[in-house]
Every structure is written in structure tokens, then in C-alpha cells.
Amino acid sequence: MNEKKSPLKIITLGNPTLRQKASELSVSKMKSPEVQKFIQDMAVTLKVVGNGAALAANQVDKLWQIIVIELENMSAKVLINPKIEKLAGKELLAFEGCLSVPGYWGQVWRKERIVVEAFNQHGEKIRVKASGFNARVLQHEIDHLHGIVFIDRMEDMSTFMTTEELERQFEKGRKKDA
Ligand SMILES: [Zn+2]
């Protein structure tokens, strides 16, 4: 059990903020104490929750274009104003979960590879390339900033299932929520 308290509350499906578009931040705004503190709080929240790969600001009820990430093989930890520069490779179908849709999973098609342009937490321009699961997480998170939840991308709602059922059907166990 994690005894650390989450500084921010994660909102769940039905909260209107999950369906709204987040705003871009100016570079001076990114560097402001208010935003710096918020990014720190997002990172701690993601760690405390423990089972998430990433978190978008919409998920903590803030309409800023900020994503924090906890992924192996990805050095970028914060993406501000992310823009998809390129989607490439195959379309891949896999189960996704979401910290804002706790306890449920569903299959979503995503592109195999992605290139994203963004700013880091210091307000510096960065370019992030990812493939496979990491590319899926980035597509999922950038969707959040545009008010899109993974269930909106599902083509076959019969794959929408509880964690219990997913584990029953796939003995390998669960992937991380995003
Ligand atoms: Zn999500």
C-alpha cells in the first residue's frame, strides 16, 4: 500500500473536463511557478497512483496542454503543447486502460510509430519518437488533451471489459493504465 497522498485528484468518466480541449501554454507561462508546481504535482500524482504510464492535465481537471510520462525507454517525462508530427507503421489493435476509466479495458487501433513535437518542463522544444506500447500511450494522452477518451476510439464495444474479465481471458495479466 502506498501511504503517500496524491496532491491532485484524478477525475473519471462523466466529468465534462475529460471532453474539453486543453489550451496551449506560452513559454513564459510554462516557466511560471504556478505551472512548475502543477507539473510537479502531476508527476507525484502519477507516482502515487502507481499503475499509470502517463497522465494528461485534463485527468486532474485542468485544461492545460501538459502530459507527464513514466515509461521505460523514454527519456521525455513532460510534454507541453504536444503536436503529432508523424504517425507511421501498421495499425495495431490492443487493449487500453485509463486512470479516468478505472476498472475497464477495451481494444483500440493505434499507429505503430509516432513523432511528437513539444516543449519540455523547462520550456525547451523537444522532439520525441516512440513505437509500440510507448507510441500507443502518447496517442492516448494527446487524445486526452483534445477531449477524447479511448472508448471514443473503440470500434468493437464487445471488447469493453472489466479488469477481472480481462485477467480471466488473458492470463498474462494487465498492462499499465494511461
Ligand atoms: Zn487515459
H-type helices in the chain, by residue range? 27-30, 33-49, 132-145, 150-153, 163-169
Q: Which three cell numbers stand for residue 5?
A: 497522498
Residue type, 176: K
Cα(20) to ligand 1 centroid in Å equals: 14
Cα(168) to ligand 1 centroid in Å equals: 23
Q: What is the pLDDT of residue 176?
A: 58
Q: What is the pLDDT of residue 119?
A: 98
Residue 174 lies in a domain: no
What domain count does the chain have?
1
Q: Which three cell numbers stand for residue 162?
A: 472489466
CB–CB of 44/6 below 8 Å?
Answer: yes
Q: What is the pLDDT of residue 19?
A: 98
CB atoms within 10 A of CB 35: 21
Residue 8 lies in a domain: no
| Domain, as residue range, for 71 | 16-169
Q: Which pairs from 162-167 meet CB under 8 Å and 24+ separation?
A: 162/103, 162/104, 162/105, 163/97, 163/103, 163/104, 163/105, 166/95, 166/105
Across the strands, what pairs with 177?
A: 52
Provide the annotated active-site residues. 141
Structure confidence by residue, pLDDT tens digits, 55-106: 999 999 999 999 999 998 899 999 999 999 999 999 999 999 999 999 999 9
Residue 120 lies in a domain: yes
Structure confidence by residue, pLDDT tens digits, 6-56: 999 999 999 999 999 999 999 999 999 999 999 999 999 999 998 889 999
Q: How many residues does the chain have?
A: 178
Residue 42 lies in a domain: yes
CB–CB of 115/86 below 8 Å?
Answer: yes
Residue 36 lies in a domain: yes
Q: What is the pLDDT of residue 177?
A: 59
Across the strands, what pairs with 84?
A: 116
Q: Which three cell numbers stand for residue 19?
A: 471532453
Residue 48 lies in a domain: yes
Residue 2 lies in a domain: no
Q: Which three cell numbers stand for residue 100?
A: 479516468
Residue 162: CATH number of its domain = 3.90.45.10
SS3 call for 19: helix
CB–CB of 119/27 below 8 Å?
Answer: yes
Structure confidence by residue, pLDDT tens digits, 92-150: 999 999 999 999 999 999 999 999 999 999 999 999 999 999 999 999 999 999 999 99
Does 146 appear as a known binding residue? Answer: no
Does 122 appear as a known binding residue? Answer: no
Cα(97) to ligand 1 centroid in Å equals: 7
3 — pLDDT class (breaks 50, 70, 90):
low
Q: What is the pLDDT of residue 4?
A: 75
Residue 177 lies in a domain: no
What value, to the nearest 5°, has the Cα angle with vertex 32 and ends 27 and 37?
Answer: 120
